């Protein structure tokens, strides 16, 4: 995978740019989006990033597809919540708030060791099915054992009624956000360094060819087990942070939807890159919270985005950018930059048309009065007349048609005409 | 007590046959292509919705035949233009593709038919009591579901064992490259089997949508249970799917209809209804019923990954 290829000294330095840019972004963004909602969203992004990075330890690094990673996130959150409540009940004496996520991590590790002990014997479909079953089991049990899980209402805690290690007042959302950033940075560094240990390399070997890894003298089951337990630990850490930012935890946090979202986010970002899951998790969090207030169709957009990534760009969004960057650096853009930009533009036009069609359909089928005037991309249209439909379909067809049947052949001809190298 | 048992068995068999209609297609698809189709229950849902809409225009009996064909056509399109493209990247992207597809189909169904259940009812010609057993009425429609399932099983068996097409399918199940070398169009066989499996699920939806409820959540409710059936029966085994469907159908109905808990049977022994073991001691079977399939799934995969009838490990 791309990030694991050995590189020379100069590009080694270059490869550390995310470690500068992302923390800088984390410090600048709260200055721009300083509303209460904005800060909460940023905190959730930080948590989602830790969760997605831990998920990618399984999917990207070890080749284990899990449909139940939220189990460790949720159980970590529940245990952390119980500790927070104990601290609350003791009148704010006991474990400092900054260390509550460690409790979540310990719980994640604990359950990861237990459940991992029998689920990692095989990779592939068997592992995916076991995690699916475990996820459903834990989610259903969460409604049965209401002593621990608090039933459908969930459990509440109070982060202010807990001591702070550094005397910080966590009544302010911004201070809580910086706590999330600090933990996210620590988790990211640890997960990154883990990839560079022999364990990380063996995980890659087990992913690519378990038989050969075994011949080298490593037990694939043990390697998978350690990766699984460590991933569960970081998921629990994310769960513990969630308890601090939201002060509530309910059965949704162990549920299948949570497991699905982390899988979607990680894959959309790109499982072959360290920053892929970060980009994906941040994007998914933003889409989930902002798109859902814009349009009813956000789940559909989400699903379509995911399917297109799986079909056309299995290396994810970061993968698209990285491939284009490599092509550009190798001089593959020479003489055809215009065509590439033209294809990009045509594709965007096509997507724009498709969005118009979907929005029209939602208005037509879902609203009480389809003929009511309806604002679409700045125009006020009537969805029961043919014109907006014709125009929207027209834009979509022209955009995608130009991209696939005009731009793509043209690019292929130009590349084969100029040289034998270079790929799109 | 005897009534409860008879009633549970009848309803369990009914539920089991519905499960079999879905799982037989899924297990065929897995056996041949190695794809565990997450969207399989979505095709079941499409079957119900297509039959409902067609039924408004043509009546139930025409829809009973047309809806599965339409679902099969949709399945063929998905295989030809979606799965075949993803196939080159390996099994995990295939699984993920069907996972995303399940979301998209659910949203599209909610878009076109709304999020509330549609009034999809049994036709008047089947809507009467067939027989009464110990004071419990058994409707003609339930008998009809049993008949459909039996016809389907026999038809499937004849198709796979007694026809040339079935021979090619069976060959492509175990040695696709060899079948290809003999001059058969293996990708076409794949598309056909995928479409056929989806049509079977669609047929299940046509009758299942009436028996249960037809709403956009029906796929996500049935999906995981169908997986359990397929894994328990052994991936790729059609007889295994039949046996596992009946086992799960009857077990789940039993757990729902008898009211049993350890505390109720043995006595509470002074154990309070709190704490992990206390709650388990007082847990009633009706509450375990929802968890039971997943418990079976995990236990099967740990102790017997090839399932009851499977020839190879998953």
For residues A13 and B213, what is the distance between their CA atoms, to the nearest angstrom?
60
End-to-end alpha-carbon separation of chain B, Å?
A: 40
Number of H helices, E strands in chain B: 15, 2
Q: Distance of CA B128 to CAs A378, B131, B139, B143, B185, Å?
A: 56, 9, 6, 11, 48
Eight-state DSSP code of residue B138? E
For the segment A163-194, what is each residue's pLDDT rounded down to a tens digit? 777 877 787 888 889 999 999 999 999 999 99
Show the tokens assigned to A391.
């125009």
Please report the pLDDT score of residue B314 as a whole number: 47
Q: Give the largest Cα separation in chain A, rounded.
A: 76
| Angstrom distance (rounded) from CA A419 to CA A415 | 6
DSSP-based three-state secondary structure for B136: strand
pLDDT at A424: 45
Clarify whether residues A334 and A310 are in a common domain. Answer: no
Alpha-carbon distance of A362 to B104, in angstroms, equals: 14
Helix ranges, A270-421 (H): 276-286, 292-294, 298-312, 316-329, 337-366, 386-401, 408-418
Characterize B265-301 residue by residue with b for buried, 16 or more Cβ atoms within 10 angstroms of its Cβ, and e for exposed: eeeeeebeeeeeebbebbbebebbbbbbbbebbbebb
The 3-state DSSP class for residue B9 equals: helix
**Which residues in chain A have their CB less than 8 angstroms from residue B89's CB?**
314
Here the tokens at position A34 are: 């300083």
Chain A hits for B99, Cβ within 8 Å: 260, 263
Q: Do residues A12 and A64 both lie within one domain?
A: yes
pTM: 0.87
- How many CB atoms are closer than 10 A to CB B247? 18
Which residue in the set B86, B231, B275 is minimally distant from A310, CB to CB? B86
- Chain A residue with the nearest C-alpha to that of B88: A311
Residue that finishes a domain, picked among A259, A281, A314: A314
Confidence of residue B269 (pLDDT cuts 50, 70, 90): low
Give yes or no: residues A335 and A388 share one domain: yes
Supply the DSSP string of A120-177, one letter for each residue.
-SS-HHHHHHHHHHHHHHHHHHHHH-HHHH-TTT-EE--STTS--SS---TTSHHHHH
Asked whether residue B126 is domain-assigned, the answer is yes
Stronger pLDDT, B269 or B204, i.e. the higher one:
B204
Residue of B nearest to A120 (CA): B302
Does B300 map to a domain? no
Interface of B with A in 214-233 (CB under 8 A): 224, 227-228, 231
Region at A63 (left for phi over 0; alpha for psi -120 to 50; beta for the rest): left
Question: Is B297 close to A126, i.e. CB distance below 8 A?
Answer: no
Contact assignment for B290 to A140 by CB distance below 8 Å: yes
Residue A384 DSSP code: T
- Which chain B positions have a beta carbon within 8 Å of A122's beta carbon? 305, 313-314
**Greatest CA span in chain B, whole angstroms?**
73
Tokens 């009425």 belong to residue: B137
Task: Give the model's pLDDT for residue A183.
Answer: 93
Structural domain includes residue B250: no
Specify whether the CB–CB gap between A136 and A256 falls below 8 A: yes
How many contacts, defined by CB atoms under 8 Å, are there between A and B? Answer: 114
Vertex B140: Cα angle to B139 and B144 (nearest 5): 125
**Chain A hits for B290, Cβ within 8 Å:** 140
Instruction: Say what the alpha-carbon torsion angle B150, B154, B155, B158 is, to the nearest 10 degrees.
Output: 180
A134 CB neighbours in chain B (<8 A) are: 294, 298
Distance CA A367, CA A337 (A): 44
**A242 and A378 inside one domain:** no
Q: Residue B132: in which H helix or E strand, if any?
A: strand B129-133
**B290 within 8 A of B260, measured Cβ to Cβ:** no
> Is A147's CB within 8 Å of B279's CB?
yes
Among residues A229, A225, A254, which one has the least CA distance to residue A110? A229
Residue B256 is assigned to a structural domain of this protein? no
Residue from A116, A119, A129, A309 whose CB has the most chain B CBs within 10 Å, to mutate: A129
pLDDT at A288 over 80: yes
The predicted pLDDT at position A2 comes to 43
> Number of folded domains in chain B?
1
Q: Which residue, of A251, A286, A314, is where some domain finishes?
A: A314
Q: What digits encode the pLDDT tens for the residues B26-65?
A: 988 887 777 888 899 999 999 999 999 998 888 888 888 8
B104 closest CB neighbour out of A137, A267, A300: A300
> Mean pLDDT score of chain B, rounded to an integer?
84
Residues B88, B94, B98, B104: is their CA dihedral positive or negative? negative
What is the C-alpha separation between A283 and A347, in angstroms, rounded? Answer: 20
Tell me if B107 and A300 make a contact (CB, 8 A cut-off): yes
Chain A residues with beta carbon closer than 8 angstroms to that of B100: 264, 303, 306-307, 310
CATH code of the domain in which A87 resides: 1.10.3470
Give, in order, the Cα–Cα distances in Å from A9 to each of A5, A6, A12, A246, A363: 13, 10, 5, 44, 56
Task: For residue A30, give its domain range.
Answer: 2-314
pLDDT digits (tens, 9 = 90+) for B162-200: 888 888 887 877 777 888 888 888 888 889 889 999 999
Question: How many C-beta atoms surround the C-beta of residue B9 within 10 A?
Answer: 16
Decide if pLDDT at A4 tops 60. Answer: no
Work out whether the CA dihedral A45, A46, A50, A51 comes out positive or negative: negative
**Which chain B residues touch A272 with a CB distance below 8 Å?**
none
Question: What is the tens place of the pLDDT at every residue in B104-153?
Answer: 999 899 888 888 888 888 777 777 776 776 666 777 888 888 888 888 88
- B291 touching A (Cβ < 8 Å): yes
Q: Does B305 touch chain A (CB under 8 A)?
A: yes
pLDDT above 90 covers a percentage of chain B that reads: 18
Find, in chain B, the residue whose alpha carbon is nearest to that of A115.
Answer: B298
Q: Which residue has the higher pLDDT, A283 or A159?
A: A283
CA distance A117 to A225: 7
Whether A66 and A21 map to the same domain: the answer is yes
CA distance A303 to chain B (A): 5
Statement to judge: residues A158 and A227 lie in one domain = yes
Note whether A228 and A375 are same-domain residues: no
For A252-262, the pLDDT digits (tens) are 888 888 898 89
pLDDT band per the 50, 70, 90 thresholds, residue A5: very low
- Chain B within 8 Å of A144 (Cβ-Cβ)? yes
Q: Could you tell me what percent of chain A has a pLDDT over 90?
A: 31
Establish if B271 touches chain A: CB-CB under 8 angstroms. Answer: no
Q: Which residues of B touch A366 (CB under 8 A)?
A: 111, 114
Same domain, yes or no: A253 and A310: yes
**Which chain A residue is nearest to residue B231, measuring alpha carbons?**
A129
Q: What phi, psi does A285 have (nearest 5°)?
A: -65, -45
Which range in A118-132, A225-239, B284-298 is most confidently predicted, on average pLDDT?
Answer: A225-239
Determine, yes or no, domain membership for A283.
yes
Q: Please report residues of B whose CB lies closer than 8 A to that of A221.
A: none
What Rg do the C-alpha atoms of chain B give, in angstroms?
A: 21
Do A231 and A285 lie in one domain? The reply is: yes
Residue A204 confidence class, pLDDT cut points 50, 70, 90: very high
Round to whole Å and give the CA distance between B297 and B252: 14
Mutate to test the interface with B, among A62, A120, A136 (most CBs of B within 10 A): A136
Please provide the distance, in angstroms rounded to a whole number, between the alpha carbons at the two ends of chain A.
19
Interface confidence (ipTM) of the complex: 0.86
Residue with tokens 């679902």: B71
Residue B54, sorted as left (phi over 0), alpha (psi -120 to 50) or beta, turns out to be alpha
- pLDDT for the residue numbered A366: 77
Which residue in the set A65, A137, A307 is minimally distant from B95, CB to CB? A65
Total domain count for chain A?
Answer: 2
Question: In chain B, which residue's Cα lies nearest the Cα of A125?
Answer: B314
**Which pLDDT belongs to residue A267?**
92
Q: Report angle CA A383, A284, A153 to the nearest 5 degrees.
A: 95
CA angle B249, B253, B258 (to 5 degrees): 150
pLDDT band of residue A6 (cuts 50, 70, 90) is very low
Same domain, A348 and A239: no
Q: Tokens 């935890």 belong to which residue?
A: A249
Q: Tell me, yes or no, whether B117 lies in a domain.
A: yes
**A78 and A150 fall within a common domain:** yes
User: Would an 8 Å CB–CB cutoff place B88 in contact with chain A?
Assistant: no
- CA angle (A367 as vertex; A365, A369 as ends), nearest 5: 105
Choosing from A281, A314, A347, the residue where a domain stops is A314
Looking at A112-116, A262-266, B11-15, which range is the least confident one?
B11-15
Query: Residue A54: what pLDDT?
Result: 96
- Does the residue A130 lie in any domain? yes
With residue B257 as reference, give the H or E element that holds it: helix B238-257
User: Do residues A355 and A302 share a domain?
Assistant: no
Coil, helix or strand for B111?
A: helix
How far apart CA A37 and CA A30 sit, in angstroms, is: 11
Q: Which residue has the tokens 């059609």?
A: B238
Asked if B97 lies within 8 A of A126 by C-beta distance, the reply is no
Q: Which of A277, A390, A212, A289 is nearest to A3 (CA)?
A: A277
Q: Taking CB atoms and an 8 Å limit, are A361 and B111 in contact across chains?
A: yes
Element (H, E) at B79: none
The answer to whether position A225 is within a domain reads yes
State the pairing for strand pair A155-156/A248-249: antiparallel
Q: State the residue range of the domain holding B100.
A: 2-215
| Best mutation target, A55, A63, A132, to test chain B (most B CBs within 10 A) | A132
Do residues A265 and A89 lie in contact, with contact meaning Cβ atoms separated by under 8 Å?
A: no
Q: Mark which residues 20-39 of B lie under 8 Å from A by CB.
A: 34, 36
In this complex, the residue of A129, A310, A362 whose CB is nearest that of residue B111 is A362
Tell me whether residue A51 is in a domain. Answer: yes
Mean pLDDT, chain A, as a whole number? 85
Cα separation, A260 vs B99, whole angstroms: 9
Mean pLDDT of B19-24: 89
């Amino acid at each position: 995978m791309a990030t694991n290829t050995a590189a020379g000294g100069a590009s080694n330095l270059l490869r550390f740019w995310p470690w500068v840019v992302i923390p800088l972004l984390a410090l600048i963004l709260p200055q721009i989006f300083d509303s209460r909602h904005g800060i909460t969203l940023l905190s959730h992004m930080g948590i989602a990033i830790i969760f997605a990075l831990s998920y990618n330890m399984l999917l990207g690094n070890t080749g284990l597809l899990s449909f139940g990673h939220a189990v460790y996130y949720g159980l970590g959150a529940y245990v952390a919540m119980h500790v927070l409540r104990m601290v609350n009940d003791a009148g704010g004496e006991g474990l400092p708030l900054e260390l509550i996520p460690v409790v979540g991590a310990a719980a994640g590790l604990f359950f990861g060791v237990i459940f991992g002990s029998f689920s990692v014997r095989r990779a592939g479909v068997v592992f995916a099915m076991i995690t699916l079953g475990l996820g459903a089991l834990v989610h259903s049990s969460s409604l049965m054992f209401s002593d621990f899980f608090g039933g459908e209402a969930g459990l509440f805690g109070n982060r202010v009624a807990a001591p702070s290690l550094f005397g910080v007042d966590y009544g302010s959302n911004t201070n809580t956000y910086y706590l999330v950033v600090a933990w996210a940075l620590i988790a990211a560094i640890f997960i990154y360094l883990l990839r560079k240990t022999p364990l990380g390399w063996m995980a890659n070997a087990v992913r690519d060819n378990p038989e050969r890894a075994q011949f080298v003298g490593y037990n694939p089951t043990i390697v998978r087990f350690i990766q699984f337990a460590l991933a569960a630990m970081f998921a629990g850490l994310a769960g513990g942070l969630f308890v601090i930012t939201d002060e509530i935890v309910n059965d949704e946090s162990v549920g299948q939807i949570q497991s699905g979202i982390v899988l979607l986010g990680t894959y959309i970002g790109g499982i072959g890159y360290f920053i892929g899951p970060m980009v994906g998790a941040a994007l998914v969090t933003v889409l989930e919270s902002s798109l859902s207030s814009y349009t009813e169709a956000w789940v559909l957009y989400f699903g379509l985005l995911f399917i297109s990534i799986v079909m056309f760009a299995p290396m994810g969004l970061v993968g698209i950018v990285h491939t284009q960057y490599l092509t550009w650096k190798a001089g593959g853009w020479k003489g055809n930059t215009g065509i590439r930009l033209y294809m990009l533009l045509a594709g965007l036009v096509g997507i724009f048309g498709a969005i118009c069609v979907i929005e029209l359909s939602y208005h037509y089928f879902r609203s009480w009065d389809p003929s009511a005037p309806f604002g679409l991309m700045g125009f006020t249209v009537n969805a029961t007349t043919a014109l907006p439909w014709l125009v929207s379909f027209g834009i979509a067809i022209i955009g995608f048609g130009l991209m696939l049947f005009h731009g793509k052949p043209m690019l292929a001809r130009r590349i084969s005409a100029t040289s034998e190298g270079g790929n799109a | 007590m005897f009534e409860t048992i008879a009633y549970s068995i009848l309803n369990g068999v009914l539920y089991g046959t519905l499960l079999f209609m879905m799982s037989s297609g899924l297990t065929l698809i897995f056996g041949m292509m190695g794809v565990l189709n997450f969207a399989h229950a979505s095709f079941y849902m499409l079957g119900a919705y297509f039959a409902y809409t067609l039924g408004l225009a043509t009546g139930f009996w025409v829809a009973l035949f047309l809806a599965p064909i339409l679902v099969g056509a949709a399945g063929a399109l998905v295989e030809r233009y979606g799965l075949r493209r993803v196939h080159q990247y390996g099994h995990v992207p295939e699984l993920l593709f069907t996972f995303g597809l399940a979301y998209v189909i659910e949203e599209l169904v909610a878009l076109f038919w709304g999020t509330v259940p549609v009034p999809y009812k049994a036709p008047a010609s089947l809507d009467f009591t067939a027989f009464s057993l110990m004071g419990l009425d058994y409707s003609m429609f339930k008998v009809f579901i049993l008949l459909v399932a039996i016809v389907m099983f026999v038809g499937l068996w004849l198709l796979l064992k007694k026809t040339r097409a079935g021979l090619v399918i069976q060959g492509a199940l175990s040695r696709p490259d060899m079948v290809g070398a003999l001059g058969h169009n293996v990708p076409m066989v794949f598309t056909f089997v995928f479409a056929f499996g989806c049509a079977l699920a669609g047929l299940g939806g046509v009758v299942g949508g009436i028996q249960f409820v037809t709403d956009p959540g029906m796929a996500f409710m049935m999906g995981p249970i169908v997986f359990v059936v397929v894994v328990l029966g052994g991936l790729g085994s059609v007889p295994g799917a039949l046996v596992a469907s009946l086992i799960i159908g009857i077990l789940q109905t039993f757990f729902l209809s008898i009211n049993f808990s350890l505390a109720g049977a043995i006595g509470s022994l002074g154990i309070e209804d709190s704490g992990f073991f206390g709650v388990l001691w007082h847990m009633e079977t009706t509450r375990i019923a929802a968890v039971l399939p997943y418990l079976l799934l995990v236990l099967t995969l740990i102790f017997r990954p090839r399932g009851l009838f499977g020839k190879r490990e998953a």
